[in-house]
Amino acid sequence: MTYAMKMQEERKEGREEGREEMQREMAIEMLRDKKPIQEIMRYTKLTEAKIQQIAQENKLI
């Protein structure tokens, strides 16, 4: 793997991590606003199980 390929892969991983963090933060805010799980799923593209996990971790349910 060349240096350029390695850097490109690391940038891709960074974007994915950023996207996941944004989804998580959005889900937390929506849970705090008492939005329905189905609505959170639609906007964040997270699974119901992942949203439930986030809610439990943040003591929102």
pLDDT of residue 57: 96
The number of CA neighbours under 13 Å toward the Cβ of 12 is 6
CA distances in angstroms from 20 to 2, 5, 7, 45, listed in the order given: 27, 23, 20, 10
Q: Read off the pTM.
A: 0.83
H runs (alpha helix) in the chain: 3-32, 37-44, 48-57
3-29 confidence digits (pLDDT tens): 888 899 999 999 999 999 999 999 999
Pairwise CA distance, residues 23 & 17, whole Å = 10
